[in-house]
Amino acid sequence: MWIARKWKDYEVLDCSGGEKLERWGDYVLVRPDPQVIWNTKKEVKGWNNRNAHYHRSNKGGGEWEFFDLPGQWSICYGDLKFHLKPFHFKHTGLFPEQAVNWDWCAEKIRGAGRRVKVLNLFAYTGGATVSAAAAGAMVTHVDASKGMVSWAKENAASSGLKDAPIRWIVDDCVKFVERELRRGNRYDAVIMDPPSYGRGPKGEIWKMEKEIHGFLRLCVGLLSERPLFVVVNSYTTGLQPAVLAYMLGVEMRRFKGKVAADEVGLPVLSSGLTLPCGACGRFEGV
């Protein structure tokens, strides 16, 4: 498993009964997690001294219960600074397990010996974008949500990257890739973190299991002659690491390199175990 171990401002304190107890900087949150199917005694004091608790509804969705949590706060990962806030469907604006991919991509960028153009699709609030830009890449950040792109710009600015070569695009990712193909634009690396289910700005329906292979094939058409890497993340239960590895192996076979895939996870302080947080496939060029 690829584990995000380098956090100082974030940690999973405990897990039990379908929920995880997390420290985000100075604040402790309780949020639901479908992977936590076990029940253990909740002895860690944060369970009873939390700043906010997201309660899942039996009818779908849920709502926050706030005790002492600001509307917005920030945490750091190394030199990167991210703004957080609680919003619908339990999220805070950051997936901390993805730090293991940020570090991997940054290492490849720094060691490339050339200027690297990165395309970050379904780019959300820009964790991968700011990490790649800090490593020296030129980044194109694409997300269909104008609000998410604005949030990502704030994260870039707070990380000292306001003037970094980042192109901010509000667009449906599929349509953007199709246009880039027609324009003849090329990239040395692609990162994608597609949703399990979503709708584009004009109501286009996206279902991960149905769309991901064809979309990956489109994106491969945007790669330069010597691609540095491709990273595909999945939070869809049915898409196991082996499936991501097979897709990448099929679509990247004309390039020299290797494919690997695994679960990504976060260490749990109370037990020393690792909480699985999705799957990831990587192609690494040579």
Classified as helix, coil or strand, 275 is strand
Are both 76 and 111 inside the same structural domain?
A: no
Structural domain contains residue 151: yes
Q: Which of 57, 84, 111 is the last residue before a domain boundary? A: 84
Classified as helix, coil or strand, 146 is helix
Are both 244 and 159 inside the same structural domain?
A: yes
Are both 143 and 210 inside the same structural domain?
A: yes
Domain containing residue 60: CATH number: 2.60.40.1180
Instruction: Give the residue numbers spanning the domain of 10.
Output: 2-84
Query: Which two three-digit tokens encode residue 133?
Result: 């830009």
- Please report how many Cα atoms fall inside a 13 Å half-sphere around the Cα of residue 70, on the Cβ side: 9
Structural domain contains residue 184: yes
pLDDT at 20 over 80: yes
Structural domain contains residue 113: yes
Count the domains in the chain: 2
Judge contact between 82 and 91, C-beta under 8 A: no
Structural domain contains residue 278: yes
pLDDT (tens digit, 9 = 90+) per residue, 41-95?
999 999 999 999 999 988 778 999 999 999 999 999 999 999 999 988 899 999 9
Are both 254 and 122 inside the same structural domain?
A: yes
Q: Which of 28, 50, 84 is the last residue before a domain boundary? A: 84
Q: Which of 84, 113, 135 is the last residue before a domain boundary? A: 84
Are both 107 and 76 inside the same structural domain?
A: no
Judge contact between 118 and 188, C-beta under 8 A: yes
Structural domain contains residue 39: yes
**Average confidence score pLDDT of the chain:** 95
Query: Average pLDDT in the 157-161 region?
Result: 98
Judge contact between 251 and 216, C-beta under 8 A: yes
Are both 68 and 138 inside the same structural domain?
A: no
Separation in Å, CA 79 to CA 75, 96, 267, 271: 10, 15, 21, 29
Structural domain contains residue 91: no
Structural domain contains residue 93: no
Structural domain contains residue 92: no
pLDDT (tens digit, 9 = 90+) per residue, 247-270?
999 999 999 999 999 999 999 999
164's CB contacts (< 8 A; 6+ apart) are: 133, 134, 139, 156
pTM here is 0.94
- Cα 87 to its chain centre, rounded Å, is 17
Classified as helix, coil or strand, 39 is coil
- In this prediction, residue 237 carries a pLDDT of 81
Can you say whether the dihedral through the CA atoms of 71, 63, 265, 246 is positive or negative? negative
Are both 20 and 70 inside the same structural domain?
A: yes
Are both 137 and 23 inside the same structural domain?
A: no
More confident residue, 205 or 137: 137
Are both 191 and 125 inside the same structural domain?
A: yes
What region, left, alpha or beta, does residue 100 occupy, with left being phi > 0 and alpha being psi -120 to 50 degrees?
alpha
Judge contact between 179 and 169, C-beta under 8 A: no
47's CB contacts (< 8 A; 6+ apart) are: 14, 21, 30
**What percent of the chain is modeled with pLDDT above 70?**
98
Distance CA 110, CA 149 (A): 25
Are both 51 and 188 inside the same structural domain?
A: no
Lowest average pLDDT, out of 60-64, 137-141, 172-176, 273-277, goes to: 60-64
Residue corresponding to tokens 């790649």: 132
pLDDT (tens digit, 9 = 90+) per residue, 142-152?
999 999 999 99
Domain containing residue 194: CATH number: 3.40.50.150
Are both 144 and 122 inside the same structural domain?
A: yes
Distance CA 76, CA 54 (A): 23
Are both 74 and 191 inside the same structural domain?
A: no
Query: Average pLDDT in the 176-189 region?
Result: 98
